[in-house]
Structure 1
Amino acid sequence: MDERAGWNARYLRRRRLRVIGLLMLVVLVLFVFAQSCSAWLFSSGDQSLSLSSGSSDSSDSSESANSSSSSGSSGSQDSPKAGYEGARADREAGEGGRGGDARNSGNAEDNSKGGLFGLGGGSGDSKDSGDSGGDKSRKAEKPFAAIPPPEGAKPLQDRSEADTAHGRYGGRGESDGEKDFPPGRMLVRGAKDPSNGPLQENRLVAYYGTPLSGYMGILGELPPEEMMAQLKKQTRAYSAADPERPAVPTIELIASVAQRNPGPEGLYVQQTPVEEIRRYSRLAKKNDALLLLDVQLGRDDLMNEVRKLEPFLKQEHVHLAIDTEYSVGPGQVPGINLGTIAGSDIQRAVRYMDQLVEKENIPDKLVVVHQFETGIVSGKQNISPTKNVQVSLNADGFGGAAAKLSKYDILVGQQPIQYGGFKIFYRQDYPVLSPEEVLQMEPAPAVVNYQ
């Protein structure tokens, strides 16, 4: 009996060992199968991502495989221009290369600095691939297409003083003094432009605002595609008025909105959601247009706001604008107190853009400096364009034609840097100057913004 019991025990042990061995073999087979499936799915996913990125919109070079973004929540805000509080993006979003493009996918240094909402890295696109040590001829490519003038459009001609906007509406202007400006010339007196930026041969016509509010410009009044159609129509009018300098449609999107609410960080500024910026970046590129990202500072530092936008500024068609009147100090509130900024701070942003062009081997950039009144930008002599960056001083503000023409002469003509810009308000200006009247100013505005 004992012998039989011992045999049964040995039999059961051997059977258990065989079962265990069989289970281990099954587990091993399943593991190998799972690994094979994972590799297949990963490669298929990469191929699918590349195909979908390449076909969805050639305008978007900012989609990243590791991005995790949300569009934020929009709501009523207390902004100095709109009385609204811009939607806040409450999650991170990445701006990496698209598909197989790795030129601007970022590096460890970019990731440590972080871009918009802690983003690292850059945003590449199929047009701007390779590395910064690659084909230098890429830098000369123009990532935009001007609206061609209509057939038979006549070049600008010299006009008598009575036939200019100054003659009709009054206001001081350079036309009251020397008359050595060729018609339509955009460079201010004595300035040079060693760059290959967008203003060398073209004028920019921009629509300004944010899609989060209909009170801050036309971008918030119309659906994107309808807005773009209107922008092209307005741009075409400038190409017709000055066919020697065909105009380029440009979206000027407010990327950080100053507000009267201090916000969680006490900086009185709210970032536009990443997905909205990405949306208008796609729209601009799809239509061969340019994108100007406008920063309103509140109490934040200019370079802090600019660096947040680096993933977008690395894109070939994206440039920078600075709304200087919203840069306030401790104890001040934007929209209640008129802000000020030092020219040396603006020059840091110019140098930053210059270095970005060199580092990324991208086309030359433009920095637009909005000015609402004299004294807002102090030390203008410290602002200087570079071989890679153009600078346009923009005369901002609405009102009567005579006052606006005089302001342009004071803020641009009498304090020359390189190029001038002029903002027009469709509803608040009286009258709204026509493209022909705008181009009679001396120097002729190189950037014309509409709000």
Structure 2
Amino acid sequence: MTIRAKGRLAAVASGLALVLAAAGCTAADPGADSGARSQKNKDSVVLANPASGASQIGGDAEDMALKASQAFFEKAPAVVVLGNEGAQDAAAGQARELGVPLLVSPEDASEQRAFAAELERLGARTIIAQGALPDSMANGLKVVDGSAPDADLPDIDRAEDSTESGFAVVVRSGDKEAEAAGPALATAQAAGADLHTMESPDPRSPKNQEFFQNHADSSLYAIGNGFAKAEDFSAMAATAAGGKQLPGGGQLVFPERRMVALYGTPGTSSLGLLGEQDVDAAIKLAKKYAAEYQPHSKEKVQPAFEIIATVASAAAGDDGKYSSYVPVERLEPWVKAAQEAGVYVVLDLQPGRNDFLTQAKRYEKLLSYPNVGIAYDPEWRLKPNQRHMVQIGSVDAAELNRANDWLAELTREHQLPQKVVILHQFTQSMIRDRSTLDTSHPELAMVVHADGHGSPGMKMGTWDNLRQDLPKGIRMAWKNFIDEDSPTFTPEQTFDIDPKPWFVSYQ
């Protein structure tokens, strides 16, 4: 990465842990070498050490400009000061050309004090004005009209290019965002930063991934206010830089693709279509189903498995929970084969009297694969003293939230792409307090799976009912029953449903 001003950036730590750049912070000590250099030449620029990891610089234009100066410069004999919004382009260009910070003329007393303190910290002796500035701002410093053709600009010593280490900045696209962040961006670029403009605020989006991967070992700054909260942005940036991909590429499940899945348990034909053949034949069949849907979708249709990992049972079992676990060792070959073949896998949980979090943790090893998500099946979630096929199970949203909290943290810890989270449902009562579902985890892509079977009218009635008061951030999914539906919807009919399902499974 090119560093254009005097000084050398310290080597930055790899990884993207979050450090917030806050107003009023003191820049890092540039080290004895750069300190001695500044004593020898008062007109040299010395760069500060950028914060290691991923940082955010937000606020109004003035505040962001100040934070950027503190983050990127240790010493600067001159600063460009913007006194007129109409002069922002000229001011930014001048700051980049000279390799010095760009500050914004302060208005109130507290901002003026912070401005004066920053000039003192930088050791600035010259203000290059772009637009009118208050007379009180000079405070003994030389003021130069930067817009004058014959402006007496200072001669600033700048180092030869260095590529030893570097940092990068990202900003949201859009006139409003770019204007507010403009002065801070100019300061970052004056210090040698690489710049990337993000149409989407999510580092994991296809248009952003490459930049974050190319800067995996760089200090990273998000400048502006159009990003996720600091902790989430840092985690998403780390995932983007890590580069782990979903089957078919990318790190965000939707809206880049739709999925068509075989449902069932390996080796058990009575539980669904998936178990009627071995893994190789199941992969071939899943791809065949996905291909039949592709003509009816502008998005890529991804083949998938929905594997029943815990099976509701009539007997209580040794633990009295009315649910049996399919061993991880039996499922992992299917997960690995699916990963190699570009097939997504969803592990379906039928917990009986267990809670969903307890069962999900049993499959942590499989959920650590980038191609594995989870499905919660409340029909088989029993209360004490309930029995399968006697009562229809149900679950509180709070229990699902606990399981999702754990899954999101696992995804974040392993820097995995987004995970599909399916909520099976055919009556509103199956998920109690559904409006309180937490849909804020950026690591999870949630869908409600309409499990109703029967005639087209019955199925559409279930579909429309489940769409009522659907929490924001949850998409809809559909199940086709090969034996129980009369008739089974064709691919064209299934994708003609409004809204078009994002996930379709066959049982």
* Fold conserved between structures, TM > 0.5: yes
Q: Is the aligned partner of 1:361 residue 2:464?
A: no
> Which residue is equivalent to 1:209?
264
Deviation at 1:282, TM superposition (A): 1.5
Q: Is the aligned partner of 1:137 residue 2:240?
A: yes
Paired with 1:426 and 1:285, the residues of 2 have a C-alpha distance of 26
Do 1:384 and 1:391's aligned partners in 2 also have CA atoms closer than 8 Å? Answer: no
Helix, strand or coil for the counterpart of 1:144? Answer: coil
Q: Is the aligned partner of 1:434 residue 2:490?
A: yes
Deviation at 1:413, TM superposition (A): 4.9
Q: Evaluate the alpha carbon distance shift between residue 245 and residue 257 of structure 1 in structure 2; reply closer, same or farther with a 3 A threshold.
A: same
Do 2:267 and 2:276's aligned partners in 1 also have CA atoms closer than 8 Å? Answer: no
Do 1:211 and 1:219's aligned partners in 2 also have CA atoms closer than 8 Å? Answer: yes
Cα shift readout 1:366-410 (whole Å, capped 9, x = no counterpart): 210001322111111111322221110000032111110111111
Helix, strand or coil for the counterpart of 2:373? Answer: strand
Deviation at 1:199, TM superposition (A): 2.0
Structure 1 letter corresponding to 2:248: A
Q: Is the aligned partner of 1:371 residue 2:474?
A: no
Do 1:257 and 1:296's aligned partners in 2 also have CA atoms closer than 8 Å? Answer: yes
RMSD, matched Cα: 2.3
Q: Paired residues, what number? A: 273
Paired with 1:202 and 1:136, the residues of 2 have a C-alpha distance of 19
Do 2:450 and 2:463's aligned partners in 1 also have CA atoms closer than 8 Å? Answer: yes
Q: Evaluate the alpha carbon distance shift between residue 448 and residue 133 of structure 1 in structure 2; reply closer, same or farther with a 3 A threshold.
A: closer
Structure 1 letter corresponding to 2:353: R
> Which residue is equivalent to 2:454?
399
Helix, strand or coil for the counterpart of 2:403? Answer: helix
Which of 437, 450, 463 aligns to 1:408? It is 463
Q: Evaluate the alpha carbon distance shift between residue 371 and residue 135 of structure 1 in structure 2; reply closer, same or farther with a 3 A threshold.
A: closer
5+ long unaligned stretches in structure 2: 1-215, 217-234
> Which residue is equivalent to 1:264?
318
Q: Evaluate the alpha carbon distance shift between residue 254 and residue 394 of structure 1 in structure 2; reply closer, same or farther with a 3 A threshold.
A: same
Do 2:261 and 2:506's aligned partners in 1 also have CA atoms closer than 8 Å? Answer: yes
Paired with 2:371 and 2:251, the residues of 1 have a C-alpha distance of 13
Helix, strand or coil for the counterpart of 2:350? Answer: strand
Do 1:139 and 1:363's aligned partners in 2 also have CA atoms closer than 8 Å? Answer: no
Paired with 2:293 and 2:429, the residues of 1 have a C-alpha distance of 31
Which of 356, 377, 380 aligns to 1:323? It is 377
Deviation at 1:420, TM superposition (A): 0.4
Paired with 2:238 and 2:405, the residues of 1 have a C-alpha distance of 23
Q: Greater strand share, 1 or 2?
A: 2
Do 1:197 and 1:366's aligned partners in 2 also have CA atoms closer than 8 Å? Answer: no
Q: Give identity over the alignment, percent.
A: 26
> Which residue is equivalent to 1:303?
357
TM-score after normalising by structure 2? 0.51
Paired with 2:412 and 2:244, the residues of 1 have a C-alpha distance of 15
Cα shift readout 1:61-82 (whole Å, capped 9, x = no counterpart): xxxxxxxxxxxxxxxxxxxxxx
Kindly indicate whether structure 1 or structure 2 has the higher relative contact order, using CA contacts under 8 Å at least 6 residues apart: 1
Structure 1 letter corresponding to 2:435: Q
Paired with 1:206 and 1:215, the residues of 2 have a C-alpha distance of 17
Deviation at 1:345, TM superposition (A): 1.1
Deviation at 1:412, TM superposition (A): 2.7
> Which residue is equivalent to 1:241?
296
Q: Is the aligned partner of 1:227 residue 2:282?
A: yes
Paired with 1:365 and 1:139, the residues of 2 have a C-alpha distance of 16
Do 1:250 and 1:290's aligned partners in 2 also have CA atoms closer than 8 Å? Answer: yes
